[in-house]
């Protein structure tokens, strides 16, 4: 069966391509403490397996877009899915924490193909005016799998072991490979004759000189830094400090990731009534409010699951308002270089996301009588940066 652009099946593929990268990350979070126990590694080393995955994901953003602009979406996507499937199987067999850290970089490189090319495939099929609403619905759909993934990961971790989470996502990646191989035709109508590094650099330079382009990708990146930092820190607080099991943690995560779903749903209702740039500019206040909430209870000496999960919900809600609008605005500005624009947007997401996990790993490694305070301090600069960078979208900002 051929997946015709703009069909329901085509949208389902876009959702799946955007989902498996975040799914791979979120299904793993409930079993992170178990990984440390099994491989005799401390929490900081285990957190690095999340960081290196995102670094690989970020680096992959640089290649898939330009390659797909030259060779087409389909062959490049097939190559990325194959790399992901093979390296995921290798991760499930990792004998040491050092081996897993290294393999996660390669797994992230493969996973980046779905995120980058999913955005490029969206731009191939829809007009610039349609993209905010289409991407908003796609983002809502994409959130279903990652929101359920921690629960699945928690159950798999308790029943079979942490390695089974890699078997699960590996099977998902291979299924996507088969679907793309058999059902997807090429959609790139502006394919270049060759990869001209000069042209690509000029195109990327033009994008990075555009205040409006930066006004879209920087809040997006800072928002992901906050949410991925939470993913790195929360499992250890809830499981090691509060005694929750991986399965219980997975169930609690449904609440926090539900905030992203709610944010995306609210954005769907606002599109057409409120400008996307206004939504992005206001969303950062959700991040600030959440961290103030967390800091207040931490300083008061109150540590309970809800003092962590409620702020996580608020943070996710704010990011849910940003994602679709920022991606649509960034990629839609440059239709002939949609792959490259998608790469830069993805690089901002995962590169800054990795920075968020590093900040959290460094600060949560410090002893503190206020358990959640190091987590809040690690994320606070990103919340402020989200607000400040969104000012680039102000009508008075110079540039394209």
Q: Locate tokens 């791979």: which residue?
A: 24
CB neighbour list of residue 38: distance below 8 Å, 6 or more residues apart: 161, 162
Q: Is residue 191 a part of any domain in this protein? A: no
| pLDDT at 389 (0 to 100) | 92
Q: Is residue 284 a part of any domain in this protein? A: yes
Cβ atoms of residues 370 and 301 within 8 Å: yes
The 10 Å CB-count burial string (b at 16+, else e) for 344-358 is bbbbbbbbbbbbbbb
Q: Is residue 355 a part of any domain in this protein? A: yes
Q: Is residue 189 a part of any domain in this protein? A: no
> Residue 302: what are its φ and ψ, rounded to 5°?
-95, 115
CATH number of the domain encompassing residue 67 = 1.20.1250.20
In the predicted model, residues of the chain with pLDDT beneath 70 are: 1, 128, 132, 136-137, 139-147, 190-200, 338-339, 364-370, 395-400
> Residue 274: what are its φ and ψ, rounded to 5°?
-125, 140
For 102, the domain range is 8-183+206-393
Q: Number of structural domains, the chain? A: 1
| pLDDT at 369 (0 to 100) | 59
Predicted TM-score (pTM) above 0.75: no
Q: C-alpha angle 42/47/51, rounded to 5°?
A: 145
Alpha helices in 72-210 (DSSP H): 73-92, 97-125, 131-159, 163-183, 197-209
Strand (E) or helix (H) holding 60: helix 43-71
Q: Is residue 198 a part of any domain in this protein? A: no
Rounded to an integer, what distance in angstroms lies between the CA atom of residue 366 and that of residue 296?
19
| pLDDT at 164 (0 to 100) | 92
| pLDDT at 398 (0 to 100) | 47
Q: Is residue 121 a part of any domain in this protein? A: yes
Look at residues 95, 343, 305 and name the one whose alpha carbon lies nearest to residue 207.
343
> Which residues are 271's β-sheet partners?
274
Cβ atoms of residues 166 and 89 within 8 Å: yes
Q: Is residue 1 a part of any domain in this protein? A: no
Look at residues 185, 212, 219 and name the one whose alpha carbon lies nearest to residue 319.
219
Q: Is residue 142 a part of any domain in this protein? A: yes
What pLDDT, in 10s, does the model give residues 156-196? 888 898 899 999 999 999 999 999 999 888 877 766 656 55
| pLDDT at 141 (0 to 100) | 64
Alpha helices in 300-372 (DSSP H): 305-332, 338-364
């Amino acid at each position: 069966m051929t997946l015709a652009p703009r069909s329901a099946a085509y949208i389902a593929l876009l959702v799946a391509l955007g989902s498996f990268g975040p799914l791979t990350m979120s299904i793993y979070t409930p079993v992170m403490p178990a990984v440390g126990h099994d491989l005799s590694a401390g929490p900081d080393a285990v957190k690095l397996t999340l960081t290196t995955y995102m670094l690989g994901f970020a680096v992959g953003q640089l290649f898939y877009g330009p390659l797909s602009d030259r060779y087409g979406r389909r062959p490049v996507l097939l190559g990325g899915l194959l790399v992901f499937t093979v390296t995921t199987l290798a991760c499930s067999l990792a004998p040491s924490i050092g081996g897993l850290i290294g393999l996660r970089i390669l797994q992230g490189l493969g996973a980046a193909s779905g995120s980058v090319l999913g955005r490029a495939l969206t731009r191939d099929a829809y007009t610039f005016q349609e993209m905010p609403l289409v991407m908003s619905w796609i983002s809502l759909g994409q959130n279903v799998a990652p929101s359920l993934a921690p629960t699945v990961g928690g159950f798999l971790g308790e029943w079979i072991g942490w390695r089974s989470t890699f078997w699960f996502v590996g099977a998902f990646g291979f299924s996507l490979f088969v679907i793309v191989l058999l059902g997807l035709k090429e959609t790139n109508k502006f394919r270049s004759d060759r990869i001209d590094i000069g042209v690509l650099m000029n195109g990327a330079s033009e994008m990075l000189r555009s205040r409006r382009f930066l006004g879209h990708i920087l809040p997006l990146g800072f928002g992901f830094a906050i949410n991925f930092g939470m993913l790195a820190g929360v499992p250890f607080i809830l499981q090691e400090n509060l005694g929750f099991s991986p399965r219980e943690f997975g169930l609690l995560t449904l609440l926090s990731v539900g905030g992203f779903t709610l944010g995306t749903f609210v954005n769907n209702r606002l599109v057409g009534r409120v400008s996307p740039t206004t939504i992005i500019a206001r969303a950062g206040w959700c991040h600030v409010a959440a961290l103030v909430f967390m800091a207040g209870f931490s300083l008061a000496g109150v540590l309970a699951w809800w003092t962590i999960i409620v702020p996580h919900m608020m943070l996710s809600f704010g990011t849910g308002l940003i994602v679709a609008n920022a991606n649509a605005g960034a990629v839609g500005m440059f239709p002939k270089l949609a792959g490259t624009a998608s790469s830069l947007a993805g690089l901002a997401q995962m590169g800054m996301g990795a920075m968020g996990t590093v900040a959290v790993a460094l600060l949560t490694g410090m002893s503190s009588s206020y358990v959640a305070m190091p987590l809040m301090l690690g994320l606070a600069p990103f919340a402020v940066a989200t607000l400040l960078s969104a000012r680039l979208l102000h009508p008075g900002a110079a540039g394209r």
